[in-house]
A and B are shown apart, each in its own frame.
Chain A
Amino acid sequence: MAEPRMDTRMPPELLAIVERGLAPVRPIASPARRVLALLPLGLALLVAIPAFWGLRRNASELGPMVAWGLSGLQALAGLLIVGAALREAVPGRELSARAIAWTVGAALALFAGMTFLTESLVPAATPPGVFGRYAWECFWMAAASSVPVLAAAVWLAGRALPTRPALAGAIYGLGAGIIADAGVRLFCWVSSPAHVLLAHGGAILLLAATGAAAATLVERLKGRKPA
């Protein structure tokens, strides 16, 4: 049986709405160009934490090349993750399941790898009796210092139209957390995995959750705007 013919005439109401708001628009930049806008912010964050709080006391044992090199590498990786999230936020350019798995897996592997590498180079445990306090301080330092990058990512992704806002937000939250942790590592001299995975890793997870919530909220608020 032949398929019934579809009516594809445009409703006049739709045409009227479009005609009313038909101003020329400038297309948003590509995700790669938008993430470049975050580069100065990421580098500033990397430098600001040790500049404000001081460089880790065992930095000389690591050497400046290793200490700054590893953190710089981690910050760049964080920016790439934010870039992946900005791509995810553009309709039609969503990441495949495999790309998401690779992005999240690579971020976690990088974080764990940096932790164990630093531990092997300069083993330094938390002094007795202050594990909780140190963990709490590093957790909040990493979480709070990532706010500028996270806010910028929320804004940049919100300019697009993410089909899966929670996912896009979780990915840029993860990236912002990785960038912030790169700076915190230059200040925090404790290298024991128990401290780093719990305090620094906990902050990264909090930021991923915050990013997911913020992106969802932004999309809901945008959905309420009139046409």
Chain B
Amino acid sequence: MREANHPGDEDELVRLMVAYQAGELAAFEGLYAQLAADLRRYFQATLATRADGAAQDLVQETFLAIHRSRRTYQPGLPVRPWAFGIARNVLGRHRREAWRRSRTENRDARSGAEMAAPAAALALEPRDLAAALALLPASRREAWVLHHVHGLSFQQIAARFRIGVGAAKLRSSRAMRALRAALGVETGGAPDG
């Protein structure tokens, strides 16, 4: 993966950003290719973890925030500080959520009975599912559990975590994919959500 770390590459980022503001999807894909790896490294370093899941989730949320806020970029200015400014914003929100979650952790503790329904749907032992869930990053696990165990809609999950509906779906969907892979369940079933 080529990374934009010198002036010529920054010029390319500016060109892509201007094209993205004009509505070009390919320009967004180009920005993602140029920035995703650096953003992920930033989140891994800031969260002091090598675990890829949480950092990857934050990268996706950052790109969703970039998408929502693309008009706040002023053409001609460097793209990288702007994108990392948004990443800091996302990180701050993530930390506030984590703090809020830690306060309500006990209330969100799942009982074996609550795990039975989704486990049955996947034709598994509840304890297998619980073990597979424990391996997931907290943000994905909670989105999946809230949707599939507690029956919350994605709108409700988004409101609870103060994230977009798309981000809530993304978390749950990635959790479902990871669970299917971990439990050896064949993919291609009903879509998540």
Contacts and interface: CB of A to CB of B under 8 A. Distances in A.
Contact of B72 (A24, A28, A227): A28
8 contacts: A10-B32, A11-B174, A14-B60, A23-B23, A28-B72, A93-B77, A161-B72, A227-B67
Contact of A22 (B25, B82, B169): B25
Contacts of B1: 6, 8
A227 B166 contact: yes
B33 to A, nearest CB: 7
B173 A10 contact: no
A1 interface: no
Nearest to A89: B72
A151 B53 CA distance: 41
B49 interface: no
B22 to A, nearest CB: 5
A223 B37 contact: no
B21 A24 contact: yes
Interface in B76-93: 77-78, 80-86, 88-89, 92-93
Interface string A189-227: 000000000000000000000000000000010011111
Contact of A220 (B68, B73, B86, B162): B162
A6 B32 CA distance: 13
Interface of A: 6-8, 10-11, 13-15, 17-19, 21-28, 30, 90-94, 159-163, 220, 223-227
Given A92-B82, A163-B92, A223 B163 contact: yes
Contacts of A13: 166, 169-170, 173-174
Contact of A26 (B71, B83, B169): B71
A24 B86 CA distance: 20
B29 to A, nearest CB: 6
A41 B60 CA distance: 41
B9 to A, nearest CB: 15
Given A8-B36, A13-B169, A225-B164, A27 B75 contact: yes
A10 B56 CA distance: 11
Decide if the interface of chain B is mainly helix, strand, loop or mixed.
helix
A24 B169 contact: no
Decide if the interface of chain A is mainly helix, strand, loop or mixed.
loop
Contact of A8 (B37, B80, B81, B86): B37
B23 A91 contact: no
A164 to B, nearest CB: 8
A92 B78 CA distance: 8
B81 A93 contact: yes
Contact of A227 (B41, B56, B92, B167): B167
B23 A14 contact: no
B69 A14 contact: no
B173 A15 contact: no
Interface of B: 1, 21-23, 25, 28-29, 32-33, 36-37, 40-41, 52, 56, 60, 63-65, 67-75, 77-78, 80-86, 88-89, 92-93, 155, 158-159, 162-167, 169-170, 173-174
A163 B71 contact: no
Nearest to B173: A13
B14 to A, nearest CB: 12
Contact of A18 (B25, B72, B77, B88): B25
Contact of B85 (A18, A24, A163): A163
A79 to B, nearest CB: 20
Given A10-B32, A11-B170, A93-B81, A227 B64 contact: yes
A14 B65 contact: no
B187 to A, nearest CB: 13
A191 to B, nearest CB: 43
Nearest to A159: B72
A227 B165 contact: yes
Contacts of B22: 24
A163 B84 CA distance: 10
Contacts of B28: 18, 22
